[in-house]
Chain A
Amino acid sequence: METQVLLPETESPEPEQESWLRRNQDWLLVTATGLAIGGLGVWLSFLGNPRNAGICISCFMENLAGALSLHGNARMEYVRPELIGFILGAAAAAFLGREFHSEGGSSPVLRFLGGGILMIGCGVFMGCPIRMALRLGAGDFTAASGLVGLVAGVWLGFEFLKRGFHLGEAAPMPLINGLILPLIAVGTLIAVLLKSPLLQSSLSGPGAERAPFAIAIGAGLLIGALAQRSRFCITGNIGNFLVARDWRFASGVVAMLGSAVVVSLMVGSFHPGVEAQPGSNLAYGWSFLGMGLVGITSVMIGGCPFRQVVLASQGSSDAASAVLGMLAGAALVQTWNIGSTNVGPTPAGRISALVSLAFILIVGLVLRMRESEQAA
C-alpha cells in the first residue's frame, strides 16, 4: 500500500493494467473455471467417461454410493477419481489461500435433506447442472428444458431469499469438523490405490466407463482448486445475473457452455438434435421440473451440487451435511428407481420430484415466516 502511494500514477501504464486485472479478476477467474469444467468435462468423456457425462456430480455420487455398497445397481459402482480431486484440490487451494474455515451449525438436518433432494431433481432430469451444460454443449437439445427449469428454480429461490428466507448463521467450529470431508477423501484415495475389497467396481455399464485414473484425478484437482478460488457456482452465477442483469455474473456458465461446444466439435462428439442423445429422454416437462427443483433447492442451501462439494472441502460442515445428504439421496435414487431412464421419468421419480418440491416450498414458507415474525 505504501509503495502505491509513493509512485506517481502517470509514471507507467503498468499500474493501470494491473488494476484492470485486479478489478476484473473475480469474473475472469469464474470464466476460467467455467472454461476448465466445460472443456475437461468433454475431454474426460472422450477419454473414457460416460458420454456427455465427463463431469456430473449426481452421476459421480451414484457411482460412489454404489462403490460403497449403498445401492444394488452393479452398473453404477466406481469411486470417481475426479470427485476425490475436487475435494482435495479445493481443500488445498483453501489452505494455501488461507480460506479454510471450519464452521457450521446452520440447519444441518435441513441441508442434509436438501442434498438428498438435489439428487432427486438431478435423477429426474438425468444429470446435475454441469452435465446439463455438457449435454447442451454436445448438441443435446433435450437438455434445454432443464436449463429453463434451472433458471426458473433459481429465480424462485431468489424470490424466497428476497422475502427473508434464511437457514441461520454458521458459527466457527473446532478444526476437525471442517477436516472430516478432506480426510475421508484421502482415506478413500488410499483405499482405491490399495484396491480395497470394501470398494465395489462395475465390470460393465456406466460405472465401468472410465477416463485414465491419473488424468481424471488431475482434472479433478485443477477444477477443485479453480472452483475454490473463483467461488464458481452455476446456480449462484445464474442468480447473480438475474439480480444484477450483468453478463459478467453469468460468465462462468457461458464459458462452460462455450468450451463444451468447442471441445465437443474438436473431439467429434457434437451431434445436434434431440434423437439418439446419450442419457436423455423426451419428457421435457419432467426435465424442467427436475432442474427447477435443483435450482430452488441450491439457492436455499447456498450452492449447486458442485459448489456444495467445494464448500465442504474448505471447512463448511453445513455443506458437508448437504454432501452426505447427496450421497444418501444418490443411493435412494438408485434403490427406489427414482432416476429417469431413456424411456422417461419413472413413477417413483415423478412422485419424489413432486413431493420434494412441495417440501421445499413449505420449508421456504415456514422459514420465511419465522424471519418475518422476528422482524415484527
Chain B
Amino acid sequence: MKLDRFDILTAACATALLLAAGFVGTSRGSPTPAPRASAGSTPTAISDLTRARAALDAGKDKKAIDQLTKFLAANPDIAEPHVLLAKAYASQGDYATAIREYKTAVVMDPEYADLNSDKYIGKGIKSVLAHGWAPCEITLNPERNDAARAAVKDDAAYLQRMLAGGCN
C-alpha cells in the first residue's frame, strides 16, 4: 500500500482533530443551558419567592434583592428569581446587572424570550436594553472596566438575538 502526501496530510489532520476534541473535552466551553425548573420546588421556596415578589411590587427593591439573593443561594437552578432580580436592579437603575440577570434567566429558560409563551418578558428586556445602555456606558467606564463592559455588551447582544427568534 503506497501512501502519498494527501494521505499523510489527511491522517495528520484527523489526528490533530481528535487531539483538539480531547483538549476541548477537558477545557471549559460556553455554558450549556441548565435544565429548566419551575419556581418553588418546596413550600418554603414558594413562600420565599412570594415574599420577594410582594416586596418588588411594593417598590422595596433592596429588600427584594436581599430575599432573592438568599433564595438563589439555596435554589440556583430556578430561572424566575433571576427575572425578578433583573426587574429590581432595573428599577434601581443598575442596568448592567439587570441585563446580566435577564440573560441568566433566558439561558436557563428560553421561554422567557418566546413571544408565544405565557412567560414572555420581552417588553421588560427591550425596555432595559433601550434605556439601559447609556447608563451602562457611564457606569462601566470603558477605560477602567473594559472586561465588564464587554461582558454586558455580549449579554445584551445575546438577549437581542433571543428576542429576534429563530429555530433554536
Contacts and interface: CB of A to CB of B under 8 A. Distances in A.
Interface of A: 50-53, 56, 59, 75, 126-127, 131, 159, 163, 204-206, 208-209, 275-282, 337, 339-348, 350-351, 354-355, 357-359, 361-362, 364-365, 368-369, 372-373, 376
Contacts of A56: 167
Contacts of B107: 341, 343
Interface string B76-96: 000000000000000000000
A159 B160 CA distance: 41
Contact of B33 (A52, A126, A282, A341): A341
A101 to B, nearest CB: 33
A56 B164 CA distance: 17
Contacts of B13: 358, 361
Nearest to B168: A279
B67 to A, nearest CB: 29
Contact of B32 (A278, A281, A347, A351): A347
B10 A361 contact: yes
For this complex, into which size category does the number of interface residues on chain B fall? 35 or more
B48 interface: no
B158 A354 contact: no
B30 A365 contact: no
B166 A351 contact: no
B165 A279 contact: yes
Nearest to A280: B161
Interface of B: 1-3, 6-7, 10-11, 13-15, 17-18, 20-21, 24-25, 28-33, 107, 110-111, 114, 116-118, 157-158, 160-168
A152 B28 CA distance: 28
A75 B109 CA distance: 11
Contact of B25 (A131, A344, A347, A369): A347
A282 B14 CA distance: 26
The secondary structure that dominates the B interface is helix
Contacts of A354: 17-18, 20-21, 24
A351 B24 contact: yes
Given A345-B29, A358-B21, A364 B166 contact: no
Contacts of A275: 157, 160-161
A347 B15 CA distance: 19
Contact of B167 (A53, A345, A376): A53
A209 B165 contact: yes
A280 B29 CA distance: 17
B167 A59 contact: yes
B20 A347 contact: no
B168 A340 contact: yes
